Structure 1
Amino acid sequence: MTQASEATRATRRQHDREIVALAVPAFGALVAEPLFVMADSAIVGHLGTAQLAGLGIASALLTTAVSVFVFLAYATTAAVARRVGAGDLPAAIRQGMDGIWLALLLGAGVIVVALSTAPGLVDLFGASDTAAPYATTYLRISSLGIPAMLVVLAATGVLRGLQNTRTPLYVAVAGFVANAALNAALVYGAGLGIAGSAWGTVIAQCGMAAVYLAVVIRGAREHGASLRPDAAGIRASAQAGVPLLIRTLSLRAILLIATAVAARLGDADIAAHQIVLSLWSLLAFALDAIAIAGQAIIGRYLGADDAPGAREACRRMVQWGIATGTVLGLLLVLARPLFLPLFTSDSSVTDAALPALLLVALSQPLCGIVFVLDGVLMGAGDGPYLAGAMVITLAVFAPAALLVPVLGGGLTALWGAMALMMAVRTLTLWLRARSGRWIVTGATR
């Protein structure tokens, strides 16, 4: 074995260790997040159908409101990681504090909107007369926790940028346990009903935010970083987040269009679509964990002025994405006879879901490439390109999906359009990664 090949192997092993060390805890934290809603649903479900329906509507609105601001985590990760790579920890933490202050300001604005428009938003979602009061109650109370939720996003980005994904895992698990306990105590023990579930979630989220803030503040004091709000820094964080907001809104539009089209295909198809989309989202958690590792690692290399290291890390993470996607696709194909009965016993739903699941399985290697390169470009601070690429993807997907009810093909054709969407994303992201234009070194982009 030559020295060059041995050096290459050593570099790959180093990248593998970094990816695993960051991705595995990140995956655990990602999986813990949807468990909040599951715990609330399990507890509220025993109160009655109307209460559960109200929770479903309010949770959908809250999830949408918070997910729109996921750029607080993404942009903060990239900015902090660059400073870490440059060896300037005080500036890295200062950058993170700007993101946290922005989260607090945005959260305050969302509270005002949510409290004043809650009944109208609930009606817009078509809530029944029996479910609407419960949905409004849950939405109004839970909106008080939105600033804490956004602080959690921003602070998670700070720790990821500092190459720490273990603390977010611990906080997420502790938050889930606290949320479940508080929900049970307040809903049944205190007899507060659905309001108790909302208050339990608010308290759990505020507790999580407090832990994150304690960690960040301790780091700021250790490194002499200022904790005061800085108007220029907050404005810069907001500007960096705008392209990622456009990207997120375009992606949400794609998912909403897919669901709307499935609803027009019939009850069996929309039921099958919900099953397939749930499984697709579950697989996305594993791939998104690698993307999170990519954000942190790429930002650090670029901040350290190590362009070759960033290229090599990108190449290795793409290999991880393809391999992980292939394994997930195979598992989906092999396990489909086992998990489909868990969702439904209706043969018409199963018949509609099976071909779509095969398309999902076949597209997983592409999904692996997309998620990884998405994370790499986020870590590089290449938000404007990501925004433009996602708008192009939406422009291709929308007509393809909307033509499904006209041309036929049912749910299989709809998920064929979803596979096309992933292919377009693969092409746009691969072209950008190959061009090298995303490689801009230095402590700031």
Structure 2
Amino acid sequence: MESLLLVLVPNKKFIGNKIEIASENEEENVYKFKEKKELSTNQSIWDQMKKILMFSGPATGIWVSGPLMSLIDTAIIGQGSSIELAALGPGTVLCDNMSHLFMFLSIATSNMVATSLARQEKNEVQHQISILLFVGLTCGIFMLLFTKFFGSRALTAFAGPKNVDLVPVANKYVQIRGLAWPAILVGWVAQSASLGMKDSWGPLKALAVSSVISGIGDVILCSLLGYGIAGAAWATMVSQVIAAYMMINTLTKKGYNPFAITLPSSTDLLTVFALAAPVFVKMISKVAFYALITYFATSMGTHTVAAHQVMIQIYIICAVCGEPLSQTAQSFMPELMYGINRSLTKARMLLKSLLIIGGVLGLALGILGTSVPLFFPGIFTPDKKVAEEMHKVLVPYFIALVVTLCNHCLEGTLLAGRELKFISLTFSGSFALGAILLMLVSTRGYGLTGCWWTLVAFHCGRCLLSVLRLLSPESILYSQDLSRYKLGIAEA
């Protein structure tokens, strides 16, 4: 009866008051619900950001370790000889940059391990670790032989006819560091397996020890005993072998057998290839582009290539600080995208948190990384001409670094979602266009500054394409259709 009166006699004061009270209560409840939902969302983002920082904080040390060793070599060698400093340019390209070609091992390992753990299949994890260790060891032996027999030829082709005097010095560095290739790649597999298990502390301890050994070794062998570039190579090589052993030992403590190296079957190789091939295209495109910049810088003279060597080392050590954000996406996204507890809303929220952290970190590293060569160039070289060349590229250096940090978040999400075809096409296309632009700015006399502005264009183009892909209704962050995914692997 009361409900009927509310409808038939809406203007009555009593009924109107009841209606008004009901309306006010309803509005208050809606407001409280929205407020609670907003607080819950903000709290969830904050919780995610804390989890990201707890994982990516230690992981930062992992990614910084390798470039840090090269940066220590650069700083100590630069105090003694400008020729040896210049020789580190092609030398580190053949050692550090070529090692990035095998980053597919690292990404494939963490991706496969994280996906298997999301489905709670521990036996599958052991099998994947075993076959990937075999692949890593095989690739390491191959690179050891390549460095031994073809290292000098590769350096000669890279340095060019104007810098033949650098080849013997650079080859001395390359031959010593090449002895660590098998240990490096096996260690990468062990390290990435731990990261796929959401453990970044174990690998960090190993690489912290190796970095200390490398630094102490450089000081003793280079500064005190005067072995120069050869001493720096020995210190770095020994530290990398020790790091690999410690990372393998970390897997043992987790209950896995890292020494159970298994010959992969054709099915195993096909699975690894399906994931690794596009990642290989991604890495070879990036490494080739960096190498191409160094190639053009090498043709501009000793002072220019020495300045570029310093700037690219600082850039790399800052840029890899974003790799933990990519690794976070690869370790945590699979569970949210196609795990047992699938939640695309949480996956999108995780990406938002990653981008916030990436943007802030990019600005901070951009300011820090620019300040060092601007105010303290003497850390790396007493040569004023080299310092002047360094100052010419500070603006594009800053922009490239900020965009790179955001790119790591986007690319990690794409890798976690197995957007492999898109990644390979994006990187190969960006490399082709970037190489053409690089040749144009070089032939028209824009110098090292033009090369670095080309690097900015290379990163900005990929960033835009990645954003458009992830916002697409058919992307893994929005599509509810998993029919094109088999065992968590997207069909190309």
1:120–1:275 distance in 2 versus 1, CA, 3 Å: closer
Distance 2:83 2:249 in 1: 39
Q: Is the 8 A contact 2:88 2:309 kept in 1?
A: no
User: For residues 50 and 270 of structure 1, what CA distance do their matches in structure 2 show?
Assistant: 10
Aligned to 1:423: 460
Q: What is residue 488 of structure 2 aligned with on the other side?
A: 444
CA distance in 1 between counterparts of 2:170 and 2:394 reads: 33
- Residue 313 of structure 1 corresponds to which residue in structure 2? 350
The 8 Å contact of residues 158 and 295 in structure 2, kept in 1 or not, is answered as no
Give the alignment of 1:39-54 within 5 angstroms.
none
Distance change in 2, residues 1:277/1:17 (3 Å): same
Matches within 5 A, 1:174-193: 174-180=209-215
> What residue ranges of structure 2 are gaps of 5+ in the alignment?
1-31
- Name the structure 1 match of 2:281: 246
Partner of 1:80: 113
1:19 has 2:57 as partner = no
User: Which residue, out of 313, 337, 356, partners 2:393?
Assistant: 356
In structure 2, the partner of 1:382 is 419
CA contact (8 A) 2:105 2:189 kept: yes
- How far did 1:29 drift? 1.9
Contact 1:94–1:220 at 8 Å: present in 2 too?
no
Matched, 1:155 2:190: yes
- The one of 305, 316, 339 equivalent to 1:281 is 316
Give 1:259's aligned residue. 294
Counterparts of 1:11-410 in structure 2, within 5 Å, are 11-38=44-71, 58-126=91-159, 136=171, 138-180=173-215, 201-221=236-256, 228-231=262-265, 232-263=267-298, 270-304=305-339, 305-331=342-368, 337-340=374-377, 342-343=379-380, 353-354=390-391, 356-410=393-447
C-alpha deviation, 1:374, in angstroms: 1.2
Going from structure 1 to structure 2, the CA distance change for 1:125 and 1:159 (only over 3 Å counts) comes to: same
CA shift, 1:185, in A, is 7.7
Cα distance in 1, alignment partners of residues 389 and 83 from structure 2: 29
One-letter amino acid matched to 1:14: D
Question: Which sits farther off after the overlay, 352-361 or 237-246?
Answer: 352-361
One-letter amino acid of the counterpart of residue 145, structure 1: A
Structure number, greater radius of gyration = 2
Match of 2:15 in 1: none
Is the 2:366–2:402 contact (alpha carbons within 8 Å) kept by the matching residues of 1?
yes
Moved more, 233-242 or 392-401: 233-242
* RMSD of equivalent CA atoms: 3.8
Q: Would you say how many aligned residue pairs link Structure 1 and Structure 2? A: 444
- The TM-score normalised by the length of structure 2 is 0.77
Cα distance in 1 between the residues matched to 2:170 and 2:301:
26
Structure 1 stretches lacking a partner, 5+ long: none
- Higher mean Cα deviation, 122-131 or 107-116? 122-131
- Residues 434 and 458, structure 2, Cα contact 8 Å, conserved in 1: yes
Identify if the C-alpha distance between structure 1 residues 17 and 272 changes in structure 2 by more than 3 Å, giving closer, same or farther: same
CA distance, structure 2, for counterparts of residue 344 and residue 443 of structure 1: 53
Do 1:265 and 1:405's aligned partners in 2 also have CA atoms closer than 8 Å? no
2:28 aligned partner: none
Check conservation: 1:57, 1:135, Cα contact below 8 A: yes
Aligned to 2:8: none
Cα distance change of structure 1 residues 117 and 277 upon mapping to structure 2, 3 Å threshold: closer
How far off is 1:194 after superposition?
7.3
Task: Write out per-residue CA displacement over residues 294-315 of structure 1, whole angstroms, 9 at most, x where no aligned residue.
Answer: 2212233234233332222112
Kept in 2, the 8 Å contact 1:79–1:444? The answer is no
User: What displacement does 1:138 show?
Assistant: 5.0
Q: Measured at CA, do residues 238 and 114 of structure 1 come closer, stay the same or move farther in structure 2, by a change above 3 Å?
A: farther
Q: How big is the shift at 1:5?
A: 1.0
Question: Judging changes above 3 Å, is the alpha-carbon distance between structure 1 residues 221 and 129 closer, same or farther for their aligned structure 2 residues?
Answer: closer
Most deviating of 134-143 and 97-106: 134-143
Give the whole-Å Cα distance in 1 for the aligned partners of 2:220 and 2:449.
45
